[in-house]
Amino acid sequence: MKKLIAAAGLAALTATLPTLSVAQDKKEASPHTFTGNVGFASEYRYRGIAQTNGKPALQGGFDYSHASGFYLGTWGSNVSWLSDQATTAAPVSNSLELDLYGGYKGAVGDLGYDIGFLQYLYPGSYPKGFTKPDTLEAYVGATWKMLTLKYSHSLTDTFGNASSKGSSYLDLTGNFELPAGFTLVAHVGSQTIAAGAGRAKSACSYTDWKLGVTKEVAGLTWGVSYIDTNAKGGMGQCYRNAYSRDMGKGVAVLSVTKTF
């Protein structure tokens, strides 16, 4: 009789173990998520404009997100666009872009939304009278299925353009699944630089577009894309650097990224 009672007790205990394990797993699930990324590109293009004068870029960042929807992150890349436009009489030492951002993401049915702030920092030394390129933007975005629409509004002068507070960028991006694990990436954006300091609104405003494909191979995301703009890059115009390069001219860009 004692053996039967003991066996019954052991069976009851064993039956409860899976339930206890599942409950323990749920209890231990962390609301915090940390991710990182590192990448290499044949050229860094931002909003269609050359940031490294045709040279490669090493990039990477870290992100934190909470189950509630709040997130923070940082991202950086080598750049040369500021020193590329400077004259020998007014040198610029900057060679780094560092971004800090934070916001909130959520969803209502199939519609996702994203609200936040993004601070662009360009540490270095600048000549007297030079408009600092550091820029703060507020943004709001919406995602539906494969499409993302985002609006960014500058709360400071924009990327070194004097008296350009209130500039904006509107972009639409689509990611479409293709056979064999490929993804088609299509993008169009409109950068508006506010009028000011003797500059007309049309002088530095432009449209950019991008068409490319990506594919994950061996744990890395490989990509190739064609990027172009109608930015004014002629002699003496906004997007012509000191090396007589049209910074918005069309170019093919190769990239590889690892997320961990």
What pLDDT digit, counting tens, does each position of 128-155 carry?
Answer: 888 999 999 999 999 999 999 999 999 9
What confidence tens digit (pLDDT) does each residue in 218-242 have?
A: 999 999 999 999 999 999 999 999 8
Share the mean pLDDT of the chain: 91
Residue 97 domain-assigned (yes or no): yes
Q: 69 in the Ramachandran plot: left (φ > 0), alpha (ψ -120 to 50) or beta?
A: left
Q: What is the pLDDT of residue 6?
A: 43
% of the chain at pLDDT higher than 90: 82
Residue 175 domain-assigned (yes or no): yes
What CATH number does residue 134 fall under?
A: 2.40.160.40
How many structural domains is the chain composed of?
A: 1
Q: What is the pLDDT of residue 25?
A: 54
% of the chain at pLDDT higher than 70: 88
Q: How far, in Å, CA of 95 to CA of 158, rounded?
A: 18
pTM of structure: 0.88
Q: What is the DSSP string of 88-134?
A: TTS-----EEEEEEEEEEEEETTEEEEEEEEEEE--S---TTPPP--
Residue 17 domain-assigned (yes or no): no
State yes or no: pLDDT of 17 exceeds 80: no
State yes or no: pLDDT of 179 exceeds 70: yes
HSE of 52 in the Cβ direction (CA atoms, 13 Å)? 19
In which domain, by residue range, is 224 found?
31-259
What confidence tens digit (pLDDT) does each residue in 57-104 have?
A: 999 999 999 999 999 999 999 999 999 876 556 688 999 999 999 999
Q: How far, in Å, CA of 205 to CA of 193, rounded?
A: 5
Residue 239 domain-assigned (yes or no): yes
- Give the total residue count for the chain: 260
Residue 15 domain-assigned (yes or no): no
Residue 20 domain-assigned (yes or no): no
